[in-house]
């Protein structure tokens, strides 16, 4: 059984920054949202990005490997793995 079959309406979830994936192209069938890169910091072993979904004041933190480089202001797709998401309300 999947969790999605039983949830209705709005649900708040928790997901770790390393459990989300940034991409420049939209993947078919993936749970994705369009985002804009708001801030970034290179931390040696990974990039730390703050992204903002379109039409939202929300900011999400996501990390990428050192060779996945995005510029501030660049548009991207943020993919979620439902198995890595934990409902909290």
Q: Which residues contact 48 (CB under 8 A, 6 or more apart)?
A: 17, 40, 41, 42, 61, 63
pTM assigned to the model: 0.80
pLDDT, one tens digit per residue, over 44-82 is 999 999 999 988 888 999 999 999 999 999 999 999 888
Domain spans of the chain? 21-82
Which CATH number is correct for 21-82, 2.40.50.140, 2.60.34.10, 3.40.50.620, 2.60.40.10? 2.40.50.140
Partners of 64 in the β-ladder: 47
SS3 21: strand
SS3 letters across 31-49: EEEEEEEEEEEECCCCEEE
Among 6-10, 16-20, 24-28, 40-44, whose mean pLDDT is lowest? 6-10
Average pLDDT of span 24-29: 87
């Amino acid at each position: 059984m999947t969790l999605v079959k039983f949830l209705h309406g709005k649900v708040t979830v928790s997901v770790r920054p390393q459990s989300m994936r940034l991409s420049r192209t939209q993947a078919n069938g993936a749970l994705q949202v369009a985002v804009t890169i708001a801030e970034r910091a290179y931390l040696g072993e990974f990039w730390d990005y703050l992204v903002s979904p379109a039409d939202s004041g929300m900011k999400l933190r996501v990390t990428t490997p050192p060779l996945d480089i995005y510029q501030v202001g660049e548009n991207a797709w943020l993919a979620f793995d439902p198995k890595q998401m934990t409902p909290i309300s």
